[in-house]
Structure 1
Amino acid sequence: MTIHDFSVKSAGDSDVSLSAYAGSVVLIVNVASKCGFTPQYEGLESLYRDGQDRGLAILGFPCNQFGEQEPGMDSEIQEFCSVNYGVTFPVFGKVEVNGPGADPLYAYLRAEAPGDFGPSAGPLYEHVKASRPEALGTDEVKWNFTKFLVGRDGGVIRRFETPVTPEEVKFEIADLLD
């Protein structure tokens, strides 16, 4: 199984098969408009513009599970991304990434790259520890802007936790695009 076996909902509620991204290096990110990490949209867009001609795809999935930081409707999210950050990579329909309602894609991503972070994550670790202590030590997505790097074959390579910026994953992505 790979990400190519999944379909997701577009912001317009149509089905999109991720098999369309076969042969691409993909960075999948759960995003939010009202988060302290929202400025990562700028870095994600920069990565996308620099790498799209070499086979990079960035897929954004809005999620309102973390502090209700993505409260808008899909159309409002699309407008926010375009107007505030000039986002040109696909931002899909809102999903859940954890719990019984988790999108099957995210259940797969979490199982393939469980990830975790500790005190080295600084203030975010302290925030998760205080607000979602049950998530620590699990495969759950801990917060907005968790990133999953997927190879051209659709297999999950690595998970980057929220504090890791798009600029910090740039070199690992560049190695996969060469």
Structure 2
Amino acid sequence: MSDEEVAVEVQNRIMIKVGDVDIDLTGSAKDIDSIMQKRIREESWSNALSSIRSAREIAIAAARRAAEESGLPERGAAFQTLCNNNNLTRKPDQVLAAIQYLREVEGVHDSPPRVLEDLFIDAGMEPPGNLSLYLNRLRERRFIEYPGSDENRKNRYAVLTTEGRSHLDNRSRE
């Protein structure tokens, strides 16, 4: 058998099941892409995406309720454990971790300085003296940013940037 006689056929497969929508496609990448584009334009795809969003929100709410009902550590203890386990001993790192904790664990997206200070107090940790100064320095280092429109450009809406997450990851490895 010569090199010209060898034919390799690559098959791709995508399987998606959401609720009563079941998609199982096999074929070339071009064929699958064409079929997926058609499915995306259909009403059933929008319903499937809506079902995914709803299921995710329900699961998150149920997890929060279960955590509260099961007596998992209070927020202060959980935040203190996070800082201790990840070697976050410097105040700027702790402030960065507090922002991430409030957003990702507690789902708090509007966290004025008093909310951050309350988290430190709940954890039995000394709150930063001048929180606005810490936040401004973190922004200067591009560890946090303020998403959205100009009216959201306040410390209370701060989110971690990729650099901020990377910084916390590096600190936790030390």
TM-score range normalised by the length of the shorter chain: under 0.3
Higher-helix-fraction structure? 2
What's the TM-score, normalizing by structure 2? 0.25
| Structure ranking higher in strand proportion | 1
Q: TM-score scaled to structure 1, two decimals?
A: 0.25
Structure index of larger Rg: 2
